[in-house]
Chain A
Amino acid sequence: MTQEDWVAMTVTVQLAALTSAILLAACLPLAWRLSRSQSRWRPVIEAVLALPLVLPPTVLGFYLLVLLNPDAFLGGLWFTLTGDALTFTFSGLVIASVIYSLPFMMQPLLGAFDTIEEETLEAAASLGCGARERFFAVVLPTSQRAIVAASLLTFAHTIGEFGVVLMMGGNIPGETRVISVVMFEQVETLQYSGAHQLAAALLLFSFLLLLLVYGVYRPSRRRAV
């Protein structure tokens, strides 16, 4: 790997890490609220939050281009707040990744939270836990495996992000040039050995990550005594 490739790798890992952190912070309360909700709007909200799963990445990229433009509303807002454009920046990419990887954080969390019974929460309340404490002292520990799995999945998914970045990244080294685009370029320019190497490295990395998700964090068989 060249110096350039390492820079791209760094950008990619930073993007994945930041995206996962933001999604974790945002989705924990959101998934909890949604899980406890009895509202008839829940299926609608769930469907909306799952949209990035089925939306073609290029469509997503395109719409983000349009929305995050300094001339458009959202992009303009950012511009007035920070003095920077949002398009073709790392920040813009983070926003895109957050939307693109949202279902990968949301779905496992929602699934885990749905399995938490009211009875357990009543028991916690009877031991003196208010609503916030019930969440931190009972819900989170109970769901820790799902939380770790969701985070790792989100991270891995963002590492592999391509279509969105291609559409709206701008391929700026050190800023929006990610490893998946590097690989694409290598294939495009018929540099197959480089592409093979990079692909193998990414494959290994993702595999190890997923092994972590499914292996170490599989619910341990309760040992019968």
Chain B
Amino acid sequence: MTRRPWAYMVSRFFLLALFLFSATLSAQTATIAVAANFAATAQKIADKLSEESEFDFKIVVGATGLLIAQWRHGAPFDVLLAADRSRPQTLQEAGYVCADCIKPYARGFLSLWIPRSPQLLLPEPDLAALDVHHLAVANARLAPYGVAARVVMDGAWGKDQAKQVQIVEANDVGAAYSLVASGAAQAGLVALSSLQDERVSTDQYWTIDPRSYPAIEQWSVLFPRGEANAAARYWFEQMQLEPVRAIIRDAGYAVVEE
């Protein structure tokens, strides 16, 4: 469990210098920019899809906003798997991508994770009764997981929190996971998918009732460059179809019926 935060960090800052030689890539390859929290799953999807087709896929991981900024300045991305819904929508409304070029691909779930939970023995997550030094969440300005966490916390403690718990923000939900994993924060509102990925023992976490927070939807974007790329179109379509959806579900997400 403690080794994985490394991978998260490394993958997160795995920069785009890599695919500068994308000039040599043929139309048989697509470059997929992926939000960090979906990186592992995206790799599994890439492996599956390249097995089943004659296409190849290059996965580039980063923070959604940074990936978009890079794309705006010429980064050769064909598809973006964003961490939220609002930014893909913003791109479409601004006319950067075509009307059908954004689609939801996953729905994430929030879990309360307390690694050293034996003391707590709660049958159900009761945030109001939480007594730890630090609770890690994603930054609400940057990630829907963070927004969801805020809503949940406001619901538990009211607008002015009881402050027996200090809230610490990580810049995304994967970093929030790392904070808890490293022991720096004793508890966290993290993505269910990460917990399942890391095979964390189920007696350490509780899934928060999805009705108590705004849906965490992650949407994909087909960039204009990708529209002309057969491999990219293939990926974009397959994300909505079963074999891929099964992978997504297995990873701890739900799929979004539009």
Interface residues of chain A, those whose CB is within 8 Å of chain B, are 56, 58-59, 62, 65-66, 68-72, 85, 87-88, 166-168, 170-172, 181, 184-185, 187-190, 192
Contacts and interface: CB of A to CB of B under 8 A. Distances in A.
B182 A187 contact: no
A69 B178 CA distance: 13
A69 B141 contact: no
B133 interface: yes
Query: Chain B interface secondary structure, helix, strand, loop or mixed?
Result: mixed
Contacts of A166: 171, 175
A88 B69 CA distance: 29
A185 B166 contact: no
B183 A66 contact: yes
Interface string B1-36: 000010001000100000000000000000000000
B106 interface: no
* Top-7 shortest CB links A-B: A188-B65, A170-B168, A171-B169, A65-B184, A88-B168, A188-B142, A87-B184
Given A62-B5, A172-B168, A181-B171, A189 B183 contact: no
A172 B179 CA distance: 14
A127 B12 CA distance: 61
A173 to B, nearest CB: 9
Contact of B184 (A66, A181, A184): A66
Given A58-B13, A87-B134, A88-B134, A190 B168 contact: no
B64 interface: yes
A95 B5 CA distance: 22
Contacts of A72: 183
B166 A65 contact: no
A171 B170 contact: yes
Interface string B69-102: 1000000000000000001001000000000000
20 contacts: A62-B9, A62-B178, A65-B183, A68-B184, A85-B134, A87-B185, A88-B134, A168-B184, A170-B169, A170-B179, A171-B139, A171-B168, A171-B170, A172-B166, A172-B167, A187-B66, A188-B66, A188-B171, A190-B69, A192-B69
A75 B105 CA distance: 42
Contacts of B141: 185, 188-189
* Max count, chain A CB within 10 A of own CB: residue among B5, B90, B166: B166
Interface string B162-194: 000011111100010011001111000000000
B184 A88 contact: yes
Nearest to A192: B69
Given A88-B166, A185-B142, A187-B65, A71 B171 contact: no
